[in-house]
Amino acid sequence: MSYPYDHGGNVFTVARQLGVLPEEIADFSASINPLGMSPLVKAALTSALDNLIHYPDSGHRDLKLALARHHGLLPDNFVIANGSTELIYHLPAMLPGKRALIVAPSFSEYARSLDQQRWETRYFALSSEKGFDLDLDALERTLAEGFDALYLCNPGNPSGHLYPLDVIERIYSICTASGTFLVLDEAFMDFCEEASAKQLIARGENGIVLRSMTKFFGIPGLRLGYAIACDTLTGRMDAMGGPWCVNTLALTAGVAALQDSVHIRQTSELIQQERNYLLEQIFRFPMLKTYPSSVNYLLVEITSNITAAELKERLVRQQILIRDCATFMGLTPGFFRIAVRTREENSRLVGCLKKILDFVQG
């Protein structure tokens, strides 16, 4: 089986193709904090440079302690990784069984990682017409057919749909009853932390929460992620990784990012404000349909005679990147995703969309 490798964030490739600097590109294809990294992170990285003559702390103790304070859990509830994608690729080798159900549309790396370990994968497709809601009765009937793992992203990627905690609790209960291990990807949950199932999952042995420090904390280039689970599972995952899998700068950045409450608050406020702005502006385009979102991106559907790929190509000429979502299982060529950026960037995108769509309409 082949999988598309078209992820967002290929700003360096596009800049080379256009013959411009990367900073001249307005990148709406990768959903990264528009404020960038915290000032505390920058200062901590500079201070940590002299420590690069030593091996990184293979026990990740300082970051585990910082995460424990941040989430109200114990340090042993965490396993640190070189991005949450590393954990996604470790899981199929750790989990018993060989049949997985993936709630779609979702991150393509789930299926790719399972395929590498020769798992059988099947999709539980959600409908855009129903707002990507989960039919829990249908999910229960499907899991009763015999699946060893269920992969679910909350909030949904690329939908932005947030499943409330009571829904996740029901899903966890269904998984437990059917003998299915729950892999809950909360890569974007920092934008709506109150809905996290971290406390629920950390208390049991039938699930794991995946988290990323890429999106909210704005450090994708450092590659830092973690998982939350009971100490039995985190111990097993820690044993799977080799020594020094996370570098000193990433570990330092993670601790500093969690300490900056001002940056965390400013990020949440900006995303809410600018997401509302984008929703209001895009609503004015009769050929565009937006879906409700709780995070820092919007899923948009084109209802006219232009595809997302064509729109993406025209926007690239204006040095703007969007994420064509045709590669997501269950989405048509009319879907694209845009990150929530600064007001200046968001206004620039809206202006370019108007010119292009007005031209298409004739």
Over residues 273-282, the mean pLDDT reads: 98
Give yes or no for residue 2 having a pLDDT over 90.
Answer: no
Q: What is the pLDDT of residue 7?
A: 65
pTM given for the model: 0.95
For 139-179, the pLDDT digits (tens) are 999 999 999 999 999 999 999 999 999 999 999 999 999 99
Given the candidates 1.20.1530.20, 3.40.630.10, 3.40.640.10, 3.40.50.1220, the CATH classification of the domain at 39-260 is 3.40.640.10
The encoded tokens of residue 182 equal 């729950």
Domain ranges of the chain: 11-30+262-361, 39-260
Q: What is the mean pLDDT of residues 103-123?
A: 96
Residue 22 is predicted with a pLDDT of 84
| Nearest in space to 282 (alpha carbons), one of 358, 349, 356 | 349
The pairing of beta strand 207-212 with beta strand 149-153: unpaired
Instruction: Work out the end-to-end distance of the chain between its first and last CA atoms, rounded to an integer number of angstroms.
Output: 41
In the predicted model, is pLDDT for residue 5 greater than 60? no
Phi/psi of residue 323, nearest 5 degrees:
-105, 110
Q: Which CATH class is domain 11-30+262-361?
A: alpha beta
Q: Which helix (H) or strand (E) holds 78?
A: strand 78-81
